[in-house]
Structure 1
Amino acid sequence: MQPAVILSATDWQELTERLARLEAAEHARALATATRPDEVLSTKAAAAYLGLCAEALLRARRAGRIAGVRLNEKDWGFRRSVLDAYPRRYHRAAQAA
């Protein structure tokens, strides 16, 4: 047994228009995220992007503070979106001597 909902013609029209707007917004959001692929940077490039040395970036990966992508048996890569989201609380402003 399936339930039935009785709506007036104006309510039905408003509901279908709202659904169409939501679907259009979802489609636009999906296109916006799909048009820019997530670039994978090498360890050296990712470290330079964050302003860290490569060893510090690898230590952060081993500690679980940042996710890495295995490129081969000994090299790691890092997605740009992960690097952008990485908390920069460890960075300190350079002090003039």
Structure 2
Amino acid sequence: MGVGTASEELNLWVITRGENGSVGLTYLAPAHPEATLRAAFTAAAAAERAQGREPELDDIALVRSPDELSGLAGPHADYLEPIVRRFVGCR
């Protein structure tokens, strides 16, 4: 469940390593309208709850700059700010 994008439309963009040794792969996908992304996220979370599971991710935040990250609640992956900064710099 989610926003369907064919694998050939995804482009590996950056590989990150977190402070705890985790490795992250970030892909760029074609742009989708915000309403589409929010609806797909809500549906995926509802499907998890319907199966008696608590979704791993319970909220979605769309940001336009790294400065907006500090206003978000909850824990952040240590590599999130550099990825957002890099993305904004490419636009």
User: Shorter chain as normaliser: what TM range?
Assistant: under 0.3
TM-score with structure 1 setting the length: 0.21
Select the structure that is richer in helix. 1
Q: TM-score, normalised by structure 2?
A: 0.22
Q: Which of 1 and 2 has greater Rg?
A: 1
